[in-house]
């Protein structure tokens, strides 16, 4: 084929693929409401990443750059092994003289869909297209300088690379905790030359082990297009090859993208909305797409590598999932999955139990990742996921799960970011019912405490009180009456740090003395970690999701509770934004002292429902959604941890939210769509009809649930688990009589007792 014909074919191919994309776009299709760029510029901390992947799949990639404003791409990724992590391996096509292990490119004409990526690199000299499968992917590279050799560099930043004469590349990259990710890659064109990059030149060696192990494939001048198919594995190079061959029989990028598009549409279609604004639909389905980024299934042909014991296991028909940051995801992601994908939720729970066994402690994980349990953040909230699933009727080995949860709370230290056995602080908690704070003049005496993260005594006391309530719920289901009663008593430990004079949760030392003087906005150092955790005392004032009724009583009743809630949204920062955010970078998205940007805040706007003011929940939810979540580059107010915050957005846009995982109940908010259908599986639908709903008509005037007049600002999982319909009549003025009165409040621990 002549050079002119080759160039012509490349141009025609690009045009045809552009036509393919245009033809598949459909405004009524959920996938085409997804904008991966939403939130790619952060307000302060980590932005969202425009991840290209299939739902809950092992292979994920995103452009390697600081954020959307970055001018350069750092090569092309082959797999991202952790949400918000860097890629393992790197691919760098190149035409030039200065070859390096990884090329930094200027870029243009970037297009990102969940199932497809394309970009123009190096001032138009390279055209890239990409589509993923579950454990494999395809790159197509168009070289546009016919007079130069076409190079392709495959780099492992720390590992082993080998290359064959046919251009087949295999190897591994070393991750943390003795974990390796393996690669097998094949081009559709045989290179003219192969070798290992050494000191900027191609050597005749065909393998290398060490830092920046880099294979080079050099194609003959005039090569206009190279397609690459590759597989990845956490088991072996051979398994990576099997994964590739199983999923990619050829190099058909268009077909692969179409398959990915269909998979995404199928997953996203479990929620169907009609009416509402295009912006609201885009925020909904983009948030739902982010919900599917984690955890990831790492079973490969019925086997998986577990970093929790460093071994390869048979999965026995139960796929193994990891990369689930439970401190974030227990609040809304897991409850949402119970509704839309119960089978996957059961597989995730089973994965937790295998992790607990493999770690040799039988302690439930807290922050499971590809490389094992990092034990980040505070508390042991996997117990909430277990309690929630059990309370909603999911069937699994609850006895085993209870023991793993109990051991994780009783035997592991409560110190944040630690996997050590319990120490003296834990014994103090068991005896006194709170984590003691250090006075400003005291030095840390517990070696289990992370020096940067500190004790976080209020966050840990409140979080553990909730975790123990979850234990009591599980024990009750298992007819362990004595243990249920014991953990129920423990669940009131938050009272031990409640300061009745201020109506805040206030740190006190081991002698029972309050830390004084004290400012609930600023005391506690960086992120208030000396007392709280990432957020300040105004946020942790409300961190009793299991017993809101008792919190209302502690504050003196509904009127004072509502006044305190109102003040949270009104209290000024009290200093410059510069000073506030330099201490609290996680505490962005402010409305007063309330932070929409961090997970401990998510339930707070729903708390008005418990105190006879559901119309205020309706107003606040609309305010927060419309203020902080938009379909633009800065459309997310803070860290979106791979679905944790986005699940809150999905629930809230639809009109309800699970304030207390572990209770089979949902608080009603203010829906944004006239019609919603949620596919619960097995042909069951839960429908929400919001008549007259609009930006102005955000207040509920009346309600009907399953054909019956409904006066409660909440409903149970039992009401909808077999399908059902909630009809809400909306108006532009609050109906202050709806959802109030004796017995109308959502359930909490005190109400359950009575």
**What is the CA 208 to chain-centroid distance, rounded?**
36
Q: How many CA atoms lie within 13 A of 149 on its CB side?
A: 17
> Per mean pLDDT, which range of 289-303, 404-418, 547-561, 738-752 is the poorest?
738-752
Look at residue 654 in the predicted model and tell me its pLDDT.
98
Q: How confident is the model at residue 667 (pLDDT cuts 50, 70, 90)?
A: very high
Across residues 501-523, what is the average pLDDT?
98
Task: Output the six-digit token pair for 90.
Answer: 């790197």
Closest C-alpha among 630, 686, 674 to residue 287:
630
SS3 call for 718: helix
Q: How confident is the model at residue 97 (pLDDT cuts 50, 70, 90)?
A: confident
- Does residue 8 surpass a pLDDT of 80? no
Q: How confident is the model at residue 24 (pLDDT cuts 50, 70, 90)?
A: low
Look at residue 585 in the predicted model and tell me its pLDDT.
96
How many whole angstroms separate alpha carbon 222 and alpha carbon 190?
A: 13
What are 401-426's pLDDT values in tens digits?
Answer: 999 999 999 999 999 999 999 999 99
Q: How confident is the model at residue 18 (pLDDT cuts 50, 70, 90)?
A: low
SS3 call for 699: strand
Closest C-alpha among 547, 548, 581 to residue 564:
548
Look at residue 473 in the predicted model and tell me its pLDDT.
98
Across residues 29-39, what is the average pLDDT?
97
Look at residue 2 in the predicted model and tell me its pLDDT.
46
- Does residue 27 surpass a pLDDT of 70? no
Across residues 631-647, what is the average pLDDT?
93
Look at residue 23 in the predicted model and tell me its pLDDT.
59
Q: How confident is the model at residue 16 (pLDDT cuts 50, 70, 90)?
A: very low
Long-range contacts of 117-126 (CB under 8 A, 24+ apart): 117/52, 117/61, 117/63, 119/63, 119/73, 121/73, 121/93, 122/94, 122/95, 125/95, 126/93, 126/94, 126/95
- Please give the torsion angle defined by the CA atoms of residues 527, 530, 532 and 536, in that order, rounded to the nearest 10 degrees: -50
Beta bridge partners of 313: 304
DSSP3 helix / strand / coil % (the chain, rounded to 5): 30, 25, 45
**What is the CA 162 to chain-centroid distance, rounded?**
35
How many whole angstroms separate alpha carbon 697 and alpha carbon 702?
A: 13
18: left (phi over 0), alpha (psi -120 to 50) or beta: alpha
**Size of the chain in residues:** 754
674's CB contacts (< 8 A; 6+ apart) are 274, 275, 276, 689, 690, 691, 693
How many whole angstroms separate alpha carbon 94 and alpha carbon 681?
A: 48
Q: How many CA atoms lie within 13 A of 238 on its CB side?
A: 0
How many whole angstroms separate alpha carbon 603 and alpha carbon 599?
A: 8
Task: Output the six-digit token pair for 193.
Answer: 């030359």
Beta strands of 145-192 (E only): which ranges?
150-163, 169-174, 180-187
The helices-and-strands tally (H runs, E runs) of the chain is 20, 33
Q: What mean pLDDT is reported for the chain?
A: 95
Look at residue 10 in the predicted model and tell me its pLDDT.
40
Look at residue 141 in the predicted model and tell me its pLDDT.
98
Across residues 279-294, what is the average pLDDT?
98
Q: Parallel, antiparallel, or unpaired: how do β-strands 675-681 and 684-691 relate?
A: antiparallel
Closest C-alpha among 32, 229, 3 to residue 111:
32
Look at residue 323 in the predicted model and tell me its pLDDT.
97
Look at residue 28 in the predicted model and tell me its pLDDT.
76
How many whole angstroms separate alpha carbon 529 and alpha carbon 453?
A: 6
Cβ atoms of 698 and 735 within 8 Å: the answer is no
Q: Parallel, antiparallel, or unpaired: how do β-strands 201-203 and 72-74 relate?
A: unpaired
Calculate what percentage of the chain has a pLDDT beyond 70. Answer: 96
- Does residue 716 surpass a pLDDT of 90? yes
pTM (2 decimals)? Answer: 0.96
- Does residue 7 surpass a pLDDT of 90? no
What are 548-607's pLDDT values in tens digits?
Answer: 999 999 999 999 999 999 999 999 999 999 999 999 999 999 999 999 999 999 999 999
What are 433-455's pLDDT values in tens digits?
Answer: 999 999 999 999 999 999 999 99
Across residues 468-480, what is the average pLDDT?
98
Look at residue 738 in the predicted model and tell me its pLDDT.
98
- Does residue 85 surpass a pLDDT of 90? no
Across residues 709-730, what is the average pLDDT?
98
Task: Output the six-digit token pair for 616.
Answer: 């205020």
């Amino acid at each position: 084929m002549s050079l002119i014909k080759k160039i012509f074919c490349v141009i025609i191919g690009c045009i045809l693929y552009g036509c393919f994309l245009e033809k598949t776009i459909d405004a009524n299709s959920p996938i085409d409401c997804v904008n991966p760029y939403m939130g790619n510029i952060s307000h302060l901390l980590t932005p969202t990443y425009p991840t290209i992947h299939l739902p809950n799949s092992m292979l994920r990639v995103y452009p390697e750059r600081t954020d959307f404003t970055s001018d350069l791409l750092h090569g092309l990724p082959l797999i991202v092994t952790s949400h918000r992590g860097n890629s393992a391996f790197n691919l760098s096509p190149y035409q030039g003289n200065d070859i390096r292990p990884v090329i930094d490119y200027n870029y243009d004409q970037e297009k990102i869909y969940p199932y497809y990526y394309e970009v123009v690199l190096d001032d138009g000299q390279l055209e890239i297209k990409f589509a993923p499968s579950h454990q494999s992917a395809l790159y197509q590279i168009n070289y546009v300088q016919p007079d130069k050799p076409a190079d392709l560099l495959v780099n492992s930043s720390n590992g082993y690379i080998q290359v064959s004469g046919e251009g087949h590349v295999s190897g591994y990259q070393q991750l943390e905790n003795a974990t390796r990710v393996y690669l097998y890659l094949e081009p559709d064109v045989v290179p003219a030359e192969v070798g290992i990059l050494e000191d900027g030149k191609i050597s005749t060696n065909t393998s290398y082990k060490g830092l920046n192990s880099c294979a080079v494939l050099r194609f003959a001048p005039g090569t206009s297009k190279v397609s690459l198919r590759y597989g990845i594995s956490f088991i072996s190079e051979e398994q990576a090859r099997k994964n590739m061959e199983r999923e990619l029989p050829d190099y058909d990028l268009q077909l692969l993208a179409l398959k990915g598009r269909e998979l995404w549409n199928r997953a996203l279609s479990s929620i169907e909305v009609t009416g509402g604004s295009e912006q609201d639909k885009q925020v909904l389905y983009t948030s739902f797409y982010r919900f599917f980024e984690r955890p990831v299934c790492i079973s490969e042909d019925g086997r998986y590598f577990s970093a929790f014991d460093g071994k390869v296991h048979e999965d026995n028909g139960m796929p193994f999932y990891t990369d689930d940051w439970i401190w974030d995801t227990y609040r809304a992601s897991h409850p949402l999955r119970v509704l839309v994908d119960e089978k996957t939720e059961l597989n995730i729970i089973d994965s937790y139990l295998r992790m607990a066994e493999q770690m040799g402690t039988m302690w439930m994980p807290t922050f499971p990742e590809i490389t094992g349990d990092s034990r980040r953040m505070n508390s042991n909230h996997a117990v909430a996921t277990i309690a929630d699933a059990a309370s909603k009727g999911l069937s699994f080995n609850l006895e085993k799960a209870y023991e793993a949860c109990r051991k994780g709370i009783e035997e592991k230290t409560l110190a944040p970011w630690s996997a050590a056995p319990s120490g003296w602080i834990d014994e103090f908690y068991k005896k006194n019912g709170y984590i003691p704070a250090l006075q400003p003049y005291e030095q840390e005496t517990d070696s289990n405490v992370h020096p940067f993260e500190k004790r976080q005594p209020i966050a840990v006391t409140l979080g553990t009180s909730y975790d123990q309530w979850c234990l009591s719920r599980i024990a009750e289901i298992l007819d362990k009456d004595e243990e249920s009663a014991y953990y129920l008593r423990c669940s009131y430990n938050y009272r031990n740090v409640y300061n009745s004079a201020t109506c805040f949760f206030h740190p006190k030392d081991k002698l029972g003395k309050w830390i004084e003087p004290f400012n609930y906005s600023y005391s506690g150092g960086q992120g208030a970690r000396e007392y709280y955790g990432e957020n300040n005392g105004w946020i942790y004032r409300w961190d009793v999701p299991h017993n809101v009724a008792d919190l209302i009583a502690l504050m003196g009743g509904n009127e004072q509770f509502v006044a305190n809630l109102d003040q949270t949204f009104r209290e000024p920062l009290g200093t410059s934004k510069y000073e506030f955010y330099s201490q609290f970078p996680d505490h962005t998205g402010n409305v007063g002292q309330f932070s929409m940007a961090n997970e401990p805040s998510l339930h707070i706007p729903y708390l008005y429902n418990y105190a006879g003011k559901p119309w205020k929940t309706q107003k606040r939810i609309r305010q927060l959604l419309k203020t902080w979540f938009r379909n633009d580059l800065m459309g997310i107010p803070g860290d979106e941890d791979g679905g944790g915050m986005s699940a809150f957005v999905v629930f809230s846009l639809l009109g309800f939210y699970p304030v207390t995982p572990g209770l089979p109940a949902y608080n009603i908010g203010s829906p944004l769509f006239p019609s919603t259908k949620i596919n619960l599986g097995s042909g069951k639908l839960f429908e929400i009809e919001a008549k007259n709903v609009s930006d102005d008509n955000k207040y509920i005037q009346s309600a009907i649930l399953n054909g019956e007049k409904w006066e409660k600002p909440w409903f149970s999982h039992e009401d909808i688990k077999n399908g059902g319909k909630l009809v809400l009549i909306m108006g532009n003025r609050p109906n202050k009589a709806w959802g109030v009165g004796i017995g109308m409040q959502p359930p909490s621990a005190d109400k359950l007792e009575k």
